[in-house]
Amino acid sequence: MSSTPSPASEPVALRLLDREFLIACSPDEREGLLAAATFLDRKMRELRANARTPGFDRLAVLAAISITHEYLALRKQHDGADRSVTDGLAALRRKLEAALDAQVR
C-alpha cells in the first residue's frame, strides 16, 4: 500500500470520521484496505463518543494505540497457545517413545 500510484495500483476512497482519503493499492489489497478503514472508522467513532477533546489527529493516535494494544494482547495469547500445543506434543512424543521402548524390550 502506498500513497503514490504504481502501474498496478488504483486509488481507493476511504472515509474516516466523515473525512475522505485517497489511498493507492493493488486490486487484490482493495477489500482488505476497505475492511481496515471500516474497522478504524468504527474505533475512532467509539473513542470520539468518550473523548473530552475529540480532534481528528488525537482520535487517530488513540485508535492506533488501542488497536495496537489489542493486537499485541492477541499475539501474546496466540504465542502462549502455540507453546502449550508444542509442550503437549513433546510430552505425547515422550510417552509414545517410552511405550514403544517398553514393547521392544
Q: Is residue 2 part of a domain?
A: no
Query: Which of 47, 41, 36, 48 has the alpha carbon at shortest distance from 15?
Result: 41
Does residue 4 form part of some domain? no
Specify the DSSP class assigned to residue 2.
B
Q: How many domains does the chain have?
A: 1
**pLDDT recorded at residue 83:** 80
pLDDT for the residue 90: 83
pLDDT in tens, the chain (105 residues): 555 555 589 999 999 999 999 999 999 999 999 999 999 999 999 999 988 878 999 999 999 999 999 999 999 888 877 788 888 888 878 877 788 778 776
Predicted local distance difference test score (pLDDT) of residue 94: 83
pLDDT given for residue 29 in this prediction = 95
CATH number, domain containing residue 73: 3.30.160.880
Residue 93 lies in a domain: yes
For the entire predicted model, the pTM comes to 0.67
Distance in angstroms (rounded) separating the CA atoms of residues 61 and 91: 45
